[in-house]
Amino acid sequence: MIDKRLFRLTDKTNLFKLVIARLLNLVLSIFMWLTIAKQLANYLNSGKVDDKRLVVVLIGVLLFKILLTKWMEQLTYQASSELRLAMRKAVMEKAFRLGNGQGQLSAASLAQLSVDGIEQLEIYYARFLPQLFYCLFASLLIFLSLVGFAWQPALILLVCMPLIPLVIMSVMKIAKRILSGYWNQYTDLGAKFHENLSGLSTLKAYDQDEIKQVEAANDAEKFRNVTMSLLSMQLNSITIMDIVSYCGAAVGIGLALFAYQQEQLTLVGMLMFILLSAEFFIPMRQLGSLFHVAMNGISACKKLFTYLELPEQEYGEVTLSSSLDQLKIEHVDFRYAGSEALALNDVSLLIKRGEFTAFVGQSGSGKSTIVRLLLHQLSQYEGRIYWNQDELKTLSQETIQQTASLVDNHGYLYPTTIKENLLLGNKKASDDELWQVLEKVQLADFVQQLPKKLSEPLNENGANLSGGQRQRLLLARALLKDAQLYVFDEITSGIDLASEQIILSCLQELAKTNSVIFISHRLYNVLEADQVIVFEDGRVIESGSPAQLQRESVYFKNYFKQEQAMINGGEQ
């Protein structure tokens, strides 16, 4: 019920203060009821009441209780704010450390847990936990206040009090199962909804939108059923806790009346039992009500910590002592988790600075996998990878990130200005440098014609640009980084021929002073490369210059002929 991992992320001081504030509030209530009981007993015995003392005590106690209530509200807000900030910061930092494609949650599921899940967790942390600790002391404090009047009914109340926690524990077994299904249904529904919205144009084009609509309605109905099961369980358990609370209070009052009748209890004592018997069960009853809401937070907490505890890439502490002159891969084998087949099989290659190196091969041949290994996005491999003379596993994360830059057709353009998107590559770049890099990718004239030029806003992911313009803008942003190693993964896929030629020309110029790796499954894109490495089924089967491979490689020749046939409409 108590997840200690939360306390490692936040300061526990506010929780302790909350418990103390609630106990002080209870002490004031007991003092107030005792004063009322004594004055009422005096009135019944002698017909006299100390009006001034009663009014002063009531006003004083109520003022202090108002101040304590305000303080408790402030502490609750501070505790919940600290938790939300700490958890969202931890999730964001974890996402950055994991990088692309290493998390086990979809973007929609992670967003739901980071927003709704943490909001539910806040109720568990800032409200349920303080109430839990408060209940442990509150019941004991009320028992000590009553036991001096008559120990038998006070003991009966103390014995009845654990019945509510027993109800909570019995419900918890059912709640865990229901809440697990609830959160799974909730995150799956959100993820599918996000996917359907993202691919709505495709669904419309293939006339599948109505089918997806029916599927979404069925998923929503399943989620409604789970939600109704959860609410039903909560209402039933609340009813049981109410019965226990009221019966316990009635038993305590009944025993107090019987003891008074037998002259075993004073009139003040009897009145205190009547006034405090209900108070005895109120903390536990409130805990039970919070428990049902907190269970959502407990379930979300487990999912969040499952994500936060995902294994991360391990980095060394070595920095490059000089500029990156070569990359060397020696006999590398690699398989993805859960797969028996090797994604890479005994791969060895050498990439030098000042060379335009191209990786080619059909989809699934291992091109992108070897790049992810080179950039240390994957690390569970056999063999050795060197940057200069340093093994890749020994290099620091900062060194790798500052030295290398990856550009693919999945790069994201934010819905902000062109300038702000470019400055992500180099936040210190001047406007002149921005125009220079736009000139390199031949976008300067296009941007000059825009009403706001560099300050022209982009739609989400550059939706108001053509495919070629979007890829060239991504290239421009990468050039601003001024890295030593550039990797371009299918950056020319799905764009017009003019943009493709512009990008390839930029890459050739860039390769004169940097290490450039260009990945493509189309051979005609790499005819100007200095070195072409051909992949098939996770192995390097050919390597050399394009001219050499065209002369000597049967595979290269056949592959090239097939591409030419597709370009020419099937004619060999």
The residue among 245, 274, 308 that closes a domain is 308
Torsion of CA 453, 457, 460, 463, to 10 degrees: -40
Q: Name, in order, each residue with C-beta under 8 angstroms of 558's C-beta and a sequence gap of 6 or more.
A: none
Q: Per-residue pLDDT for 395 more than 60?
A: yes
Specify whether 251 is located in the same domain as 349.
no
The Cα–Cα gap between 24 and 18 comes to: 10
Quote the pLDDT of residue 436.
Answer: 92
Q: Per-residue pLDDT for 569 more than 50?
A: yes
Specify whether 301 is located in the same domain as 391.
no
Residue 228 lies inside a defined structural domain of this protein: yes
Q: Tell how far CA 558 is from the center of its chain.
A: 48
User: Which tokens hold the place of 223?
Assistant: 């989620």
Specify whether 101 is located in the same domain as 204.
yes
Specify whether 14 is located in the same domain as 46.
yes
Residue 321 lies inside a defined structural domain of this protein: no
Cβ–Cβ contacts within 10 Å for residue 128, how many? 22
**Per-residue model confidence as pLDDT tens digits over 14-34:** 888 999 999 999 899 888 888
Q: Per-residue pLDDT for 107 more than 80?
A: no
Q: Which of 115-129, 319-333, 474-488 has the lowest mean pLDDT?
A: 115-129
Specify whether 282 is located in the same domain as 341.
no
Residue 572 lies inside a defined structural domain of this protein: no
User: Which tokens hold the place of 306?
Assistant: 């499952």
168: CATH? 1.20.1560.10
Quote the pLDDT of residue 117.
Answer: 78
**Per-residue model confidence as pLDDT tens digits over 500-543:** 888 888 988 888 888 899 988 777 778 888 888 888 888 988 88
Residue 546 lies inside a defined structural domain of this protein: yes
The residue among 256, 273, 308 that closes a domain is 308
Residue 19 lies inside a defined structural domain of this protein: yes
Specify whether 160 is located in the same domain as 287.
yes
The Cα–Cα gap between 515 and 510 comes to: 8
From residue 295, how far is each of 182, 281, 292 by CA, in Å?
11, 21, 5
> Across all residues in the chain, what is the average pLDDT?
82
Q: Per-residue pLDDT for 567 more than 70?
A: no
Q: Which of 155-159, 321-325, 428-432, 516-520 has the lowest mean pLDDT?
A: 155-159
Specify whether 258 is located in the same domain as 334.
no
Residue 317 lies inside a defined structural domain of this protein: no
Q: How many domains does the chain have?
A: 2
Specify whether 94 is located in the same domain as 163.
yes
User: What is the average pLDDT across 149-167?
Assistant: 76
Specify whether 333 is located in the same domain as 300.
no
**Per-residue model confidence as pLDDT tens digits over 325-336:** 889 999 999 988
Helices (H), 356-427: 367-374, 397-403, 418-422
Parallel, antiparallel or unpaired: strands 382-387 and 356-360: unpaired
Quote the pLDDT of residue 572.
Answer: 47
Specify whether 216 is located in the same domain as 336.
no
**Per-residue model confidence as pLDDT tens digits over 446-479:** 999 988 888 988 888 888 888 888 888 999 999 9
The Cα–Cα gap between 60 and 546 comes to: 92
Specify whether 302 is located in the same domain as 335.
no
Nearest to 486 by CA among 374, 344, 345: 374
Residue 315 lies inside a defined structural domain of this protein: no
The Cα–Cα gap between 31 and 34 comes to: 5
Q: Per-residue pLDDT for 63 more than 90?
A: yes
Quote the pLDDT of residue 71.
Answer: 92
Angle between the N-to-C axes of helices 209-261 and 151-160, in degrees from 0 to 180, rounded to the nearest 10: 170
Residue 320 lies inside a defined structural domain of this protein: no
Number of H helices, E strands in the chain: 20, 10
**Per-residue model confidence as pLDDT tens digits over 182-240:** 767 777 787 788 778 877 777 877 788 888 888 888 888 888 888 887 777 777 777 87
Q: Are 79 and 15 in contact (CB under 8 A)?
A: yes
Domain boundaries, position 267? 5-308
Specify whether 139 is located in the same domain as 57.
yes
- pTM as predicted: 0.67
415: CATH? 3.40.50.300
The residue among 275, 308, 341 that closes a domain is 308
Quote the pLDDT of residue 180.
Answer: 65
